[in-house]
Amino acid sequence: MAAAELERLRMAGAGMAIAVLTSGGDAQGMNAAVRAVTRMGIYVGAKVFLIYEVGYPPAPCHIWGTSTPPVSRYPSPPLPSSLQGYEGLVEGGDNIKQANWLSVSNIIQLGGTVIGSARCKAFTTRAGRLRAAHNLVEHGITNLCVIGGDGSLTGADIFRSEWAGLLEELVRDGG
C-alpha cells in the first residue's frame, strides 16, 4: 500500500465515534474481535468506546482493568441470546467508556469477554432501545459494533431499523 493510501485510511474515521459491545454467550475470539475493532478504529482516527456490562469490570488490575479474570456470570443455560447483552448501552453512564490502545492490550488470550455480556430484557422494549439511543447520542457515538451471535445481531437489526424513529422521538421529547 502506498504512503498516500495509508494516510487516507488513517484519516477515514476522523469525526466518527464507534461503540463496541459484546452480547449473548461468551465465545472464543470475542476478545480478539473487541481488540481488532478498537485498534482499527483508533488507527483510522475514530473515537472508540467500550460498552461494559453493568457493574463490570470489578476493581482495577495491571493487565486489563479488573481484579480477577472475567468469567461468565451465567453458567446456567442462557436465555435466548436476543435477551442478552446491551445492558450497559441501556443503562449508560460509567458503562460506556472511551478506549485507548492500552485498553485492549493483553486480552486476546483471555476467555470470555473482558467487557462483559449480560441479560437485558429492557432492550427488548422500545423504551429500552430509546434509552440506548439517548446514551449513544449523549456520547456522540455514530457507529455501533455488536459482537455476538444470531440473537445479538437480530437486536442490532431491530435497533437499526428503528433508529430514525428513536431519534425523532428524542428530539420531540427533548431527550
Cβ pair 142, 60 in contact under 8 A: no
Instruction: Say what the alpha-carbon torsion angle 159, 160, 161, 164 is, to the nearest 10 degrees.
Output: 100
Tens-digit pLDDT profile for residues 158-168 = 999 999 999 99
Residue 3 confidence (pLDDT): 77
Q: Which residue has the higher pLDDT, 44 or 11?
A: 44
CA distances from 48 to 38, 70, 120, 169, 172 (A): 6, 21, 23, 26, 28
Q: What is the mean pLDDT of residues 17-26?
A: 91
Tens-digit pLDDT profile for residues 33-89 = 999 999 999 999 999 999 998 776 543 443 444 444 444 443 333 333 343 469 999
- Burial (CB < 10 A; 0-12, 13-18, 19+), residue 142, is middle
pLDDT at 112 over 70: yes
Tens-digit pLDDT profile for residues 128-151 = 999 999 999 999 999 999 999 888
- Burial (CB < 10 A; 0-12, 13-18, 19+), residue 34, is buried
Residue 24's pLDDT band (cuts 50, 70, 90): confident
Instruction: Say what the alpha-carbon torsion angle 100, 106, 108, 110 is, to the nearest 10 degrees.
Output: -120
- Reduce the DSSP state of residue 5 to 3 states and report it: helix
First to last CA, the chain: 45
CA distances from 85 to 16, 26, 146 (A): 23, 10, 9
- Contacting residues for 131 by C-beta, under 8 A, at least 6 apart: 90, 91, 92, 122
